[in-house]
Amino acid sequence: MRKRKLKFGIMGSASGPQISNPIAREKAKAIGTELARRGYILINGACPGLPNDAMLACKEAGGLTIGISPAFSEYEHINEYLSPHEHDIIMFTGLGFMERDIINIRSSDAIIIIGGGIGTLNEFTIAYDEGRPTGIVTDSGGISNSIPHIVEELCHRTIPPNMVFDSDPILLLNKLEKVIDAFPLPIHEDGRVTDGIDTDLRG
């Protein structure tokens, strides 16, 4: 029995061809709806695109949504970053995109990658290095289908046991729940899950 609601960070395409891909958009909306149905909290970077599709669906279904903005203020968020502001809560960090990404990752019990470009790749690498449970929505465009290639072939690393893949958002959440339970988040940085653990719950 969990003592608190889980928080899921939704990271993905804020611009580019993926945001007009109807399949990717429907997957993003399905994630948001399902997070609300399960009583979880959605976190994103308070950005447009697929993470915003997920946020709006979550909110419409009665879920709690939190945006971690790179902007210093609501004015800057809306008028300079040109970002959406329909979240229930927006945290204005004033840190820009790169540092904002770290807060996104560390505020989430798990992250979900959908589509994604270079910014999402940055978020993925932070989550990977910090051992954060990660779910990849495959067949959603962008980097999502290239993660195994990036990790194993380009970086000569292995897929850690708390990283899961599925093209079905509901099945992906089922898998993420298992790895969240199996691999509690570390209380210190040196306790993170690494790619050297043999246990595999990805099936």
List the CATH number of the domain containing 131.
3.40.50.450
The answer to whether residue 35 is domain-embedded is: yes
- 3-class state of residue 8 by DSSP: strand
The answer to whether residue 61 is domain-embedded is: yes
pTM: 0.89
> Domain residues for 71?
7-181
> What's the mean pLDDT in 111-128?
95
Residue 198 has pLDDT above 70, yes or no: no
Residue 2 has pLDDT above 80, yes or no: no
Task: For residue 42, give every residue at least 6 positions away whose Cβ sits within 8 Å of its Cβ, in sequence order, or none.
Answer: 7, 8, 10, 32, 35, 36, 54, 55, 58, 63, 64, 65, 66
The answer to whether residue 1 is domain-embedded is: no
Residue 7 has pLDDT above 60, yes or no: yes
Q: Residue 193 — pLDDT band, cuts 50, 70, 90? A: low
pLDDT above 90: percentage of residues in the chain: 81
The pLDDT, as a whole number, for residue 118 is 92
The answer to whether residue 163 is domain-embedded is: yes
Instruction: Give the number of domains in the chain.
Output: 1
Residue 199 has pLDDT above 80, yes or no: no
DSSP state of 187: S
> What's the mean pLDDT in 3-9?
90
